[in-house]
């Protein structure tokens, strides 16, 4: 059966105290909306519609950046979830199939939950959860295994507020049925809004069936405050750590490792304490990431060793058995197999050939104040400590640069390049200089008195 998603992302999120639309706040390196879209994508939808409102252009741009096929509906005035769905339904005119309504600020719903909702046989399916503290959630009214209605907290009686089975807001129904039920909604309630949840009672009044699919409470966490955002991040990281270890990745101190939404790590990899993965990182099997590293937008091949205290920035590719040591920063650079960059170096916009050794303090001077330039280093070269490679420049295979050199011209294969001032030694001068410095210091002190 065909499936469509409607993702509600129109709210301002005033409790976030932010100019940024709520659904664009990030969890694990990606906007909340992207997490909701990714969760919905596991249902293999034929159509995806995002309903925007506050910050509509920004939200639409983020949605299209993640999925260029997404369709956008705009809710100019926020009049409730039912009204938001009504704004999306014209885009589904003629669509035949199941529709799932998700929320752009609810990022933790699992694929298994959506599959269970699609597999349910009832006309309307609602996702519910048993709340530890039901608070102001809407309550699900269930008798004999059938769902009869959803009561918002503002409209609930005291007895209804004692119910612990709560509404997540996620609903699935046939497109034609959803269209008919939404068209019949009214705003006669405490908030003066059109509640999507009222379609359950409307369906039951027509003699149709409704049921609840349940999931753990943590899965339905909606982000309304900064505290909620932090709680969602904690939940995501806990799940990601558990999944990584189950797949054969060693986390020495799991609670100190942070993953992005798209981190990929091969089995037999070892991750030390206090490692942060930004978006776009792939680590192949058998690599080792030592403590206190920050990685983003990079690819690390099998057997590579990174850190401690290394930073890999976007565009970095490490070949097999590469060693990147402490306090090394690499950006938009390709290091072929067996390259060693031991410590205290910066390689930006560079290509380094196999088994080359980069000495401590080496810098590729890649930016002239206007444009970036590349440095190319051949295989089995030896770059002496404290070498400045002023790009654009090439160092040939098996070439050597002297320590402390400033290399401004290409170096041929097998050549030695030394670019530094000649050392001058003046015997006995240091004692005279120190005596002069002391006398000057005494003179200044007396003048100050």
Q: What is the 3-state secondary structure (H, E, C) of 122-160?
A: CCEEEEEEECCCCCCCCEEEEECCEEEEEECHHHCCHHH
Task: Work out the number of other CB atoms within 10 angstroms of the CB of residue 418.
Answer: 13
**What does the alpha-carbon distance between residue 67 and residue 60 come to, in Å, rounded to a whole number?**
10
CB 100 within 8 A of CB 116: no
Q: Where are the domains of the chain?
A: 3-220, 226-417
Q: Classify domain 3-220 at the CATH topology level.
A: Spore Coat Polysaccharide Biosynthesis Protein SpsA; Chain A (3.90.550)
Measure Cα distances from 164 to 138, 157, 442 in Å. 10, 14, 82
- Please report, in tens digits, the pLDDT of each residue of the chain (449 residues total): 899 999 999 988 889 999 999 999 999 999 999 999 999 999 999 999 999 999 999 999 999 999 999 999 999 988 999 999 999 999 999 999 999 999 999 999 999 999 999 999 999 999 999 998 888 889 999 988 899 989 888 888 999 999 999 999 999 999 999 999 999 999 988 788 999 989 999 999 999 999 999 999 999 999 999 999 999 999 999 999 999 999 999 999 999 999 999 999 999 999 999 999 999 999 999 999 999 999 999 999 999 999 999 999 999 999 999 999 999 999 999 999 999 999 999 999 999 999 999 999 999 999 999 999 999 999 999 999 999 999 999 999 999 999 999 999 999 999 999 999 888 999 999 989 889 989 988 888 888 87
pLDDT of 96-123, one tens digit each? 999 999 999 999 999 999 999 999 999 9
Q: Hey, what are 278's tokens?
A: 């930004």
Residue with tokens 């048993």: 130
By three-state DSSP, how is residue 172 classified?
Answer: strand
Q: Are strands 382-383 and 357-358 parallel, antiparallel or unpaired?
A: parallel
Q: Hey, what are 426's tokens?
A: 């003046």
DSSP letter for 225, please: S
Catalytic residue among 74, 294, 343, 373: 343
- Neighbouring C-alpha atoms within 13 Å toward the C-beta of 15: 9
CB 24 within 8 A of CB 62: yes
- Phi first, then psi: what are they for 87, rounded to 5°? -70, -25
Q: How far is CA 99 from the centre of its chain?
A: 27
Rounded-to-5 percentages of helix, strand, coil across the chain: 25, 30, 45
| Catalytic residue list contains 343 | yes
DSSP letter for 91, please: G
Considering the segment(s) 226-417 as one domain, its CATH architecture is 3 Solenoid (2.160)
For 218, residues 6+ apart whose C-beta sits below 8 A from its C-beta are 108, 235
């Amino acid at each position: 059966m065909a499936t469509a998603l409607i993702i509600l992302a129109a709210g301002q999120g005033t409790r976030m105290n932010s100019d940024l639309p709520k659904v664009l706040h990030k969890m694990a390196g990606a906007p909340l909306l992207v997490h909701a879209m990714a969760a919905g994508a596991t249902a293999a939808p034929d159509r995806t519609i995002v309903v925007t409102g506050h910050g509509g252009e920004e939200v639409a741009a983020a949605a299209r950046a993640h999925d260029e096929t997404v369709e956008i509906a705009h809710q100019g005035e926020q009049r409730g979830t039912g009204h938001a769905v009504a704004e999306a339904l014209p885009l589904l005119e003629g669509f035949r199939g199941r529709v799932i309504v998700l929320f752009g600020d609810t990022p933790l719903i699992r694929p298994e939950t959506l599959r269970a909702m699609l597999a349910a046989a009832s006309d309307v399916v609602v996702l519910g959860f048993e709340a530890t503290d039901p608070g102001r959630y809407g309550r699900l009214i269930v008798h004999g295994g059938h769902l009869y209605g959803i009561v918002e907290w503002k409209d609930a009686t005291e007895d209804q507020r004692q119910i612990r089975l709560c509404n997540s807001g996620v609903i699935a129904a046939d497109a034609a049925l959803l269209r008919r039920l939404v068209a019949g909604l009214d705003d006669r309630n405490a908030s003066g809004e059109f509640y999507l949840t009222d379609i359950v009672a409307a369906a039951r009044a027509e003699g149709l069936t409704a049921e609840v699919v349940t999931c753990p409470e943590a899965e339905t966490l909606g982000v309304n405050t900064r505290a909620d955002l932090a709680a969602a991040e904690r939940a995501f990281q806990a799940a990601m750590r558990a999944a990584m270890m189950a797949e054969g990745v060693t986390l020495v101190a799991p609670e100190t490792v942070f993953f992005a939404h798209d981190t990929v790590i091969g089995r037999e990899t070892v991750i030390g304490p206090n490692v942060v993965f930004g978006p776009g990182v792939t680590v192949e099997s058998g690599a080792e990431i030592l403590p206190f590293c920050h990685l983003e937008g990079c690819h690390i091949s099998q057997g590579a060793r990174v850190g401690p205290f290394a930073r890999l920035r976007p565009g970095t590719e490490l070949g097999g058995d590469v060693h990147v040591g402490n306090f090394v920063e690499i950006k938009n650079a390709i290091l072929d197999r067996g390259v060693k960059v031991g410590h205290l170096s910066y390689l930006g916009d560079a290509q380094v050939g196999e088994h080359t050794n980069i000495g401590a303090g080496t810098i590729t001077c890649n930016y002239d104040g206007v444009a970036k330039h590349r440095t190319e280093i051949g295989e089995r070269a030896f770059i002496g400590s404290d070498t400045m490679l002023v790009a654009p420049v090439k160092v040939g295979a098996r070439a050597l640069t002297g320590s402390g050199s400033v290399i401004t011209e290409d170096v041929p294969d097998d050549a030695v390049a030394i670019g530094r001032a000649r050392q001058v030694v003046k015997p006995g001068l240091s004692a005279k200089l120190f005596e002069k410095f002391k006398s000057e210091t005494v003179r200044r002190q007396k003048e100050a008195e």
